[in-house]
Copies of this chain bind each other. A is one copy, B any other.
Amino acid sequence: MTQKLLIENIGQLITCAGGRKGPVAGEFEKALGVRKGGCLAVEGGRVVAIGERERVVRQLSPGDFESVDAEGGLVTPGLVDCHTHPVFAGDRKEEFELRNQGASYEAIARRGGGIFSTVRATRQASAEKLEKLFLQRLTRFLAAGTTTLEAKSGYGLSYEDELKILEVIRQSSGRQPVELVPTFLGAHTVPPEFKNKRKDYVWLLTERLLPEVASRRLALFCDVFVEKIAFRYAEAKEILLAGKKRGLLPKLHADQLTNGSGGKLAAEVEAVSADHLEHLSPSGVKALKKSGTMAVLLPSAAFYLRSPKAPPVKKLLTANVPIALATDFNPGTSPNYSLVFTMTLACVEWGFSAAQALLAVTRNSAFALGKGSELGCLSEGKQADLIIWGAQDYRELSYYTGAQLARTVVKKGRVVWKS
């Protein structure tokens, strides 16, 4: 396959590169950078020119290039899913049925079901089996338009099994087109064998696992689930700061089921993102603004759990805190592969506009992964990750459900998927 592409016959191009630089907290339509018609040229994995055909072609080095016909359709940046738990064995479809009949997440967790059933299956699975399952899932993400995926560990919860998962993520990076951003989530919950020795588990994480993860360069981020049923404020702070000392940037699962002062903690450790936030307090909103932390909202987890409480979207907007959206893909509370469906949920359930939702799964989610200067938007010099959609207008993405809308997926300048 040639390294030079010309995307031709574009109907509507959404660059996500308009307005002010950096993550977007308002003026969404401007930030979309909508362009009608034209072409986009790619070389060496990067966007080299956008605009009228004759001018754009001249920016390519001499010689043949591959032409890709957008058929008058919509082109956007590749979608960036900045919060997922995609490496595990088994599934939780029985639990899905139970919960729909009325059992709560916490009740299921306390009964030793929930996350621990996935931990058991994942510990028993070989790296080869986990990789096979993960690669199958990655083809679904790609078909849904996701070109960059944050992938957390967190279903091992032992020295060997957490490293096994992170190695599976590393191996899978080279074997398929989705760009993987690994996050160490040994602090997903306290495993049963440490139930009465919580301090020992925190020691295992900070003194044995984190140094190994850092020295093998297995993760960019360190994440902690801060919640009554998982880690307490002080424990989370200790783990996140230990990670930071080793070069792993902090992320938090914060204020999902109860208010655990997640905003305050995010500010204290200068987290890159604070995720979930259904119970974020007004002072938490201020704290996120102060620390420049991205609010990552996860509407499909809220959908599957039928969360009665929405995150404080309007307060975040008023405070100019940028918002990203992610699938939270996981077997228990969000078996959702699609950021397009995630956008629909954010629009219908939480009042997002189509523009706000699209920016939240491209430009802003790239910033939530520390990659905002590389990808998440389409302008000269950016990584050439893009989707040609079976749609004419970006607003169709969040409007329709149940359709395979992605037609062609380009990653780092190569066509990697076609419907």
Contact = CB atoms under 8 A, between A and B. Distances in A.
A400 B335 contact: yes
Interface string A333-361: 00111111110000111011110000000
Interface stretch (A96-104, A152-160, A166-174): A96-104
Interface in A170-196: none
Contact of A351 (B91, B100, B349, B401): B100
A324 to B, nearest CB: 17
Contact of A402 (B96, B144, B393, B400): B144
A402 B146 CA distance: 11
A417 B404 CA distance: 14
A256 interface: no
A400 B352 contact: no
A78 to B, nearest CB: 16
Given A304-B348, A306-B348, A348-B304, A403 B97 contact: no
A402 B337 contact: yes
A387 B164 CA distance: 36
Contacts of A206: none
B96 A403 contact: no
Given A101-B351, A303-B348, A348-B303, A336 B96 contact: no
B93 A399 contact: yes
B395 A93 contact: yes
Nearest to A337: B402
Contacts of A353: 97, 100-101
Nearest to A327: B402
B97 A336 contact: no
A396 interface: yes
A300 interface: yes
A273 to B, nearest CB: 22
Contacts of A197: none
Given A100-B352, A396-B91, A396-B93, A403 B337 contact: yes
Given A93-B395, A396-B91, A402 B100 contact: no
Nearest to A304: B348
A338 B93 contact: no
A102 B351 CA distance: 8
Given A100-B347, A100-B352, A395-B97, A336 B91 contact: no
Nearest to A392: B91
A267 to B, nearest CB: 31
Given A100-B352, A354-B93, A335 B140 contact: no
A143 interface: yes
21 contacts: A91-B396, A91-B399, A93-B393, A93-B399, A96-B347, A96-B398, A97-B353, A143-B404, A144-B402, A306-B348, A306-B349, A327-B402, A336-B402, A337-B400, A337-B402, A337-B403, A338-B401, A338-B402, A340-B402, A341-B402, A342-B402
A296 B234 CA distance: 52
Interface in A259-316: 300, 303-304, 306
A335 B93 CA distance: 27
Given A100-B352, A101-B351, A401 B93 contact: no
Contacts of A143: 403-404
- Among A97, A327, A339: residue with most chain B CB under 10 A: A97
Contacts of A401: 300, 335-338, 341
Nearest to A406: B404
A351 B399 CA distance: 25
